[in-house]
Structure 1
Amino acid sequence: MTTVTRDFHFDRHDEKTKTRQLLEQEWLLTNGLGGYASGTVCGALTRRYHGLLIAAYPSPLGRMVMLNRLTESIRFPDGSTVRFGGDQREGGLDYEGIEYLTGFRLEDGLPVWRYEFMGSVIEKQLVMVHKQNTVHLIYRLLSGEQKVRLKLQPYLQFRPHDASVDQVTDDPYMFTAVQNRYQISTGSHAPQLRLVINGGRGNFTLEEKQSTDIFYDVENARGYDALGTLWTAGYFAVDLGMDQEAALTASTETWETLAALPPEAALAMERERRRLILAAADPRARQGLAAELVLATDQFIITPAGRHKDSVRAHAMGDEVCTVIAGYHWFTDWGRDTMISLEGLTLATGRHMEAGWILRTFAHYVRNGLIPNLFPEGHNDGLYHTADASLWFFHAVNRYLQHTGDDATLQLIMPQLRHIIDKHLSGTSFGIRVDPSDGLLTQGAEGYQLTWMDAKVGDWVVTPRRGKAVELNALWYNALRLMQQWTEQNDPAYSRQLGSFADQTCRSFNSRFWYAEGGYLYDVVDGELGDDSACRPNQLFAISLEHSVLERDKWSPVLETVRTRLLTPVGLRTLAPGHPDYKPTYHGDLRARDAAYHQGTVWPWLIGTFVDSWLKLYPDQVQTAHSFLDGLARQMNHQCIGSISEIFDAEKPYHPKGCIAQAWSVAEMLRCWLKTSP
């Protein structure tokens, strides 16, 4: 199988433009545990989340920044020294070194940098070991008349990855060395970073110091503390000859684990693992853009660090605890995002075993008729304040059954599915219940945000949507019809009862949600302020789901309204322009950003419901449906190279914002790309 390559092209003639491009574009590597490595292409730190090793620990630690960056330079035999890579300081960007960067690419999703200076060419490649908190930085001298001396100085700030960059470590760093093994910690029970050089002849020189003026530009723009301090114990120096390699390994694993898989073996195994992922995918997804998306999906499928009790239970059943990181850098695993993403992440990619693990994992967490909304960072217990995640669970199970025919899993989780239905009928937490007078699902509790439009700042719920929300009732109807189908053979009386409930829901939905004056659907009926006629994309789910609750004669006006008022090249706006709450851009501090989060801001994942609705109404217009994805295809070279962002500004030029890589953005793009491809 050929290597899947994405070259990032930047301006090599205008140094100012080149620098801006290299600062704005980012890369991401993950380790299957929730840990990651990430940074800007030029090497400057601009986010609190940037680092070469963000390790995933069991609770209560969660994800920890263990190695922030390296300063890198080479020394030539004549004594001259050249530094490569950028450095963002309080006084501005240090341009020295950026000029030598001549190329950046992803090879099967793994980042590779190319530097050229004084007749020498050096390439650097990063690889994380799957299911380990280990990163290898591999350097190769590709051309040059003489060997060079490579100097690598690690800088660090041990802290939770979401902690402020100005957080001060309570205990001093302790550095120990035994032969060529080096270890840094802040105490015997604290996390430990292990460093070792492989290949070439090298040594370590003690040079303890601090850099107190590291400026994180994106943190500043987002309204957070932006000035941080990094500490170093010294530097490694290693000789590098023509066609030779040297690698710096940073890890929190044991020395025995590191010795078992040296850097080159780790790189070869990770390349093979990625090629096997491609080989398992839909044949149409094994090359080109689709192959890049398949590799990007792998970043989100994880075995969460910790959750020991759940792992013991799963292993006893022959399973693994498997879940989905909603987005990098700051999200953990979310129930809603997992269920919406499941088809694109696991079924389109042929990862049916992981799909089953994910569904059975979340079935185990069902409480009071709900699956978790999210698992907070560093915690083993989920939070359940969501009205739609449990209904998306039915959608995900249905897609899984269509791809696999795995009736055994359906029967295994049937008690949880039935429990969810029954608790919604009788009433569960947060005011989630079916109104017996009309069969519509209502929800709402003071101070809680329960739908996917869930922004909250302090006590302010930005889009509360309390009442009968349009997509919740589309999902509820879909769940009833699916459950009616699944129980028809083994419990026909229950199946008929569900059919009656579904009929009532359908009648009420079509009489209550149609906004005749606008020619589209209300977003919420029976809300705190009555019926809400805000034009939002949520109405599309009444068409796009397996069982469409909306009468067919209403499909065309709804779809046309969404196309003309909400569709953009990168997804759907969350609110139509002209509404008093509409925000054209997503920027500023937390309050300003959350005020715009679902008030116009574009979400790429919503392109999925639009494409599905379009093809239901116009099944012969597959090529047109495919064209709706062109803008997102171009975004694969912006913000996080090789992935798709969480959100975009609502107006041109549609700047990417939010998480640099989002599970449902990637998943829905891949699913729709394959659905609309020959």
Structure 2
Amino acid sequence: MGGPLIEIGFGPQVCGDLAAGATREWLVTDGLGGYATGTVSGLRTRRYHGLLVVAGPTPATRRVALASLDPAVILPSGAQVRLGTHEWASGAVDPTGFELLERFDLVDGVPRWRWRIGDVVIERELAMAYGSPCVGVVHRLISGGPVELTLAAACTWRDAHAERYADAPPPRMEAVEDGAVIEAAYRIAGPGWEPAGQWWHGAHHREEAERGLQATEDLWYAGGFTGRLERPGDVVEVSAWAGELAERPAPAVELVSAARERSRAVVAAAKPVDAVDATLAHAADAFIVDSGAGPDVVAGYPWFGVWSRDTMIAYEGLLLGTGRAEAGRELLRRYAATLSEGMLANTADTGTVEYNTVDATLWFLHAVDRHVAATGDTDLAAELLPALRDVVAAHLAGTRYGIRVDPADGLLTQGAPGTALTWMDARVYGVPITPREGKPVEINALWVNGLAAVTELAQLVGADPGPAATAHGRAYEGFRNRFPAPGGWLYDVVDAPAHYPLGGDPNVDDDAFRPNQLLAWSLPYAPLEPEPGPLRAVAAALLTPLGLRSLAPGSPGYCDRHRGGPAQRDGAYHQGTVWPWLIGPYATACARASVDVHAIFTGLESHLTEFGLGSVSETADARPPHLATGCPFQAWSVAELLRARRLVR
């Protein structure tokens, strides 16, 4: 079933070099928002790394459970060889099992390591049970032996965004058959269990240090498992699971086999056109989860939860592009039921439901339109049309954060002090870096597109479009009159308020050269037809191997590195930092202008083996070599690359 994924594998030159192996990350997920993730070398470089990370009531409320399971081989001579890898606050790396790795591979999405100790080769594979917070870890003797294998379970139970230390009470452990229950929250089980119970102090996370965050934690050594590997093919299996602790999961070997089989089925359902397409379809699967209320989309791993803007931007590639229209239909119906004052909530990741977004709802109109166009689902169009008309009416009348239509030109204006409502929403110490108050170009391209979509959907089902048709005509003309700039491209924001930091005039038109203008040419009902000239200008200033810069070099405030502490990173987030998802609008606009862009995907295709393995990162540095930053696994980055590659074939 399904075509093969691209080959992702590394030998000892990468596995045995922490500078290389510890910067390549793998991910497996449980379909609920939980996951297991780590690095090729086995070193935990992030607070988020662990073999069992459990989603809470929402995908954003995750807890790290089983942090690591460190193997050690006892040879016939009695010598013990430790195969785990940890870095400590002292700077020491101990043990250094990565030095014995001869191979790492992703096989149908399942990570596999092989350590060599002379003629003894030990293999590890792990997989999660789909639809259950459960991981199975298999250790297999490939050659040599007999040997004894011990596995030290380093545990915790904490918020995935935090740390736990030995100055707090130790995790509560309850002895059960062949293992233990930790904090009454999850269970670990395997052969030859021997409880321990002591702190490992000062585990260091080098990526968190790089990001200016707390970089150490203490781990609880709960105990160890022991098994005998007599001959090649023998296995030692360990499982860890949350939820129904009394119900034993399938053996770890079966979990690995089931994960591979499911991976092949997921890829087959997407009807991939080549190995890269198959890999992107497989990557997309990680982001589509059952949140408890129905299908939803995790914006990125390992730290994001659900964001409506990301969901709707990714919708076409993530769900329609992978054969999941039925799940998409349920998602769209559920989101429509949550509209408030004509708006979708932005996120609940922060602990409260926030509506601080101007574009998520407009992307929702686009997603519904693309769904109906792809599936012919007129029943869904008729069902959602009243909600879509309400969205239009609320925007015409005015809603939260100053979002309203300007009667002078039919364009959508927005903004309130201290807010950043577009996708360029970073703030430092509460102050927006790119406030973009007024009439942003992509917001109004989405407004024009959304009005046309509502009108078309109404006509399709023989219903009254409400005010959408009239509003579309006015917004369309308003856009074409207001946004073209003298240089041949488009203003980023028009009619910015007087306090906008571009000058003192009552109305300021911001001509910052940004990729937002691409939506004016790329959306299905775009207000402008793309021309080669402006697209060449976009390519010259913004296009990189990993996507498009968020601001042209040389512009005021331009930052070429997305590095440092939170304030530094947020300050650079939309001031030059490269965003892979923007390859979608760029490629679409070029295709509409008959500009050949087949070669633009090479860098991103190569990136699939460089950072978040088999996936696409959230961001990258603006300057060469455009090192990846942000989340290693990002939904809209995967979705838009998948959609764009298929579009231009």
Indicate whether the TM-score tops 0.5.
yes
In structure 1, how many angstroms separate the alpha carbons of the residues matched to 2:371 and 2:176?
A: 52
* Aligned partner (choices 572, 584, 589) of residue 613 of structure 1: 589
Shift in alpha-carbon separation, 1:272–1:667, aligned structure 2, 3 A: same
The structural deviation recorded for 1:70 is: 1.8
State how 1:25-44 maps to structure 2 within 5 Å.
Answer: 25-44=24-43
Distance 1:14 1:237, change over 3 A: closer
> Any conservation in 2 of the 1:89–1:213 contact (CA below 8 Å)?
yes
Match of 1:369 among 327, 330, 342: 342
Tell me how far 1:390 sits from its aligned partner.
0.5
- Corresponding position of 1:277: 266
Residue 170 of structure 2 corresponds to 172
Other-structure match for 1:292: 279
- In structure 1, what residue type is equivalent to 2:268? A
Q: Give the drift of 1:256.
A: 4.4
Residue 236 in 1 paired to residue 225 in 2? yes
Within 2, Cα distance between the matches of 1:603 and 1:421? 30
d(CA) in 2 for partners of 1:629, 1:295: 18
Aligned CA distance change for structure 1 residues 142 and 494 (closer, same or farther; 3 Å) = closer
Q: Match of 2:539, SS?
A: helix
Q: Distance in 2 between matches of 1:106 and 1:433?
A: 49
Amino acid at match of 1:251: W
Residue 159 of structure 1: aligned partner: 158
Cα contact 1:39–1:51 (8 A) shared by 2: yes
The structural deviation recorded for 1:283 is 4.4
C-alpha change, 1:503 and 1:556, in structure 2 (3 Å) is farther
- Amino acid of the residue matched to residue 492 of structure 2? D
Code of the residue aligned with 1:33 in structure 2: it is L
Report the residue type matching 1:358 in the other structure: L
Quote how far apart the aligned CAs of 1:245 are.
Answer: 1.5
C-alpha contact 2:389 2:468 (8 A) present in aligned 1: no
Aligned partner of 2:482 in structure 1 is 512
Which residue in the other structure is 1:459 paired with? 430
Distance 1:155 1:414, change over 3 A: same
CA contact (8 A) 1:54 1:65 kept: yes
The AA in structure 1 aligned to 2:630 is G
1:182 to partner: Cα distance: 1.9
Residue 568 of structure 1 is matched in structure 2 by: 544
Q: Secondary structure at the match of 2:552?
A: coil
In the alignment, which residue of structure 2 is the partner of 1:317?
none
**TM-superposed deviation, 1:4:** 3.4
Matched, 1:640 2:627: no
Q: Separation in 2 of the partners of 1:10 and 1:415?
A: 57
Cα distance change, pair 13–525 in 1 and its aligned pair in 2 (3 A)? closer
Aligned residue identity for 1:525: V
Give 1:258 shift.
Answer: 2.1
Cα displacement (A) at 1:223: 1.0
Q: Return the alpha-carbon distance in structure 2 between the equivalents of residues 30 and 61 of structure 1.
A: 14
- Whether 1:193 and 2:179 are equivalent positions in the alignment is no
Q: Which residue of 1 aligns with 2:504?
A: none
For structure 2, the residue ranges without an aligned partner over 5 or more in a row are 501-507
Q: Displacement of 1:420 after TM fit?
A: 0.6
Please tell me whether the aligned partners of residues 88 and 202 of structure 2 are also in contact (alpha carbons under 8 angstroms): yes
Q: Residue type matched to 1:69 in 2?
A: S
SS in 1 for 2:346: coil
TM-fit CA distance, 1:275: 1.8
Q: 1:166·1:226 contact (CA, 8 Å) conserved in 2?
A: no
CA contact (8 A) 2:8 2:614 kept: no
Query: How far 1:375 moved relative to its partner?
Result: 2.1
CA displacement, residues 202-250 of structure 1 (integer Å, 9 cap, x when unaligned): 3122332211121111111111111211111221111123211121101
The code of the aligned residue for 2:348 comes to: F
Distance 1:233 1:646 in 2: 35
Aligned to 1:184: 182
Secondary structure of the structure 2 residue equivalent to 1:563: helix
Q: Does 1:246 align with 2:239?
A: no
Deviation, structure 1 residue 265:
2.5
| Of 556-565 and 593-602, the range deviating more from structure 2 | 556-565
| In structure 2, distance between residues paired with 1:24 and 1:100 | 18
Write the distance in 2 (CA, Å) between the matches of 1:667 and 1:86: 34
SS in 1 for 2:597: helix
What is the distance in 2 between the residues matched to 1:60 and 1:648? 25
Counterpart check, 1:80 vs 2:79: yes
Mapped to 1, the partners of 2:14 and 2:123 lie a distance apart of 21
The DSSP-based 3-state class of the residue aligned with 2:259 is helix
User: Which residues of 2 match residues 502-541 of structure 1 at below 5 A?
Assistant: 502-516=472-486, 518-528=487-497, 529=500, 530-541=508-519
- Deviation larger for 666-675 or 170-179: 170-179
- The match for 1:386 among 357, 378, 386 is 357
Which secondary structure state, in structure 2, belongs to the residue aligned with residue 674 of structure 1? helix
Verify the 8 A CA contact 1:5 1:107 in the aligned structure 2.
no
- Structure 2: distance between partners of 1:168 and 1:547: 58
Q: SS state of the match for residue 192, structure 2?
A: strand
Which consecutive residues of structure 1, in runs of 5 or more, have no partner in the other structure?
A: 186-190, 306-310, 312-320
User: Which residue is equivalent to 1:318?
Assistant: none
Question: Does the 8 A contact of 2:71 with 2:149 survive in 1?
Answer: yes
| 1:10–1:21 CA contact under 8 A, matched in 2 | no
- Which residue of the partner structure matches residue 333 of structure 2? 360
Counterpart for residue 576 of structure 2: 600
Find the aligned partners of 1:153 and 1:549 in 2 and give their Cα distance: 61
Give the equivalent residue in structure 1 for 2:503: none
Task: Go from structure 1 to structure 2 and tell me whether the alpha carbon gap of 1:489 and 1:656 turns closer, same or farther (over 3 Å shift).
Answer: closer
Q: How far is the alpha carbon of 1:410 from its aligned partner?
A: 1.5
| Mapping of residues 418-497 of structure 1, within 5 Å | 418-488=389-459, 494=465, 497=467
Q: Deviations over 1:380-427 (max 9, x none)?
A: x63211000100011111111122111111122222111111100111
- Does the Cα contact within 8 Å between 2:272 and 2:278 map onto a contact in 1? no
Q: Decide whether the 8 Å contact of 1:327 with 1:661 is kept in 2.
A: yes
Structure 2 Cα separation of the partners of residues 576 and 283 of structure 1: 35
Q: How does 1:537-552 map to 2 (within 5 A)?
A: 537-550=515-528, 552=529
Q: 1:492 to 1:232 in 2, by over 3 A?
A: closer
The 8 Å contact of residues 158 and 164 in structure 2, kept in 1 or not, is answered as no
Matched residues, percent identical?
A: 39
TM-superposed CA distance for 1:169, in Å, is 7.4
Q: Which amino acid aligns with 1:598?
A: H
What RMSD in Å do the two structures reach over aligned CA positions? 1.9
Q: Closer, same or farther in 2 for the Cα pair 1:10/1:61, shift >3 Å?
A: closer
Distance 1:28 1:61, change over 3 A: closer
Describe the SS at the equivalent of 2:247: helix
Which structure 2 residues correspond to residues 38-117 of structure 1 after superposition, within 5 A?
38-58=37-57, 62-90=61-89, 91-94=91-94, 96-117=96-117
Deviation at 1:253, TM superposition (A): 2.8
Pairing 1:7-26 to 2, within 5 Å after superposition: 7-10=8-11, 12=13, 18-26=17-25
Structure 1 CA distance, aligned partners of 2:386 and 2:166?
Answer: 49
Asked if the contact 1:89/1:214 (under 8 Å) is kept, the reply is: yes
2:125 maps to 125
Question: Matched residue of 1:24: which SS?
Answer: coil
> What is the CA-CA distance between 1:661 and the residue it aligns to?
0.4
SS across alignment from 1:336: helix
Report the number of matched residues.
637
Could you give the per-residue CA deviations for residues 145-189 of structure 1, whole angstroms, max 9, x where no partner exists? x321111011122110011x355674432222233242121xxxx
What amino acid maps onto 1:230 in structure 2? L
Q: 1:263 to 1:5 in 2, by over 3 A?
A: farther
CA contact (8 A) 1:324 1:338 kept: yes
The AA in structure 1 aligned to 2:527 is V
CA contact (8 A) 1:5 1:105 kept: no
Q: 1:494 deviation in Å? A: 4.0
SS at match of 2:645: helix
Give the secondary structure class of the aligned counterpart of 2:36.
strand
Matched, 1:339 2:337: no
Residue deviations 1:120-148, cap 9 Å, x none?
1111111001111111111111111x321
**Deviation digits for residues 579-621 of structure 1 (CA, Å, limit 9, x no counterpart):** 1210011111101001100000000000000000000001xx5
* Maintained 8 Å contact 1:586/1:597: yes
Question: Which AA in structure 2 matches 1:644?
Answer: V
Residue 14 of structure 1 deviates from its aligned partner by: 10
1:148 pairs with 2:147: yes
CA gap 1:581/1:10 in 2 versus in 1, 3 angstroms: farther
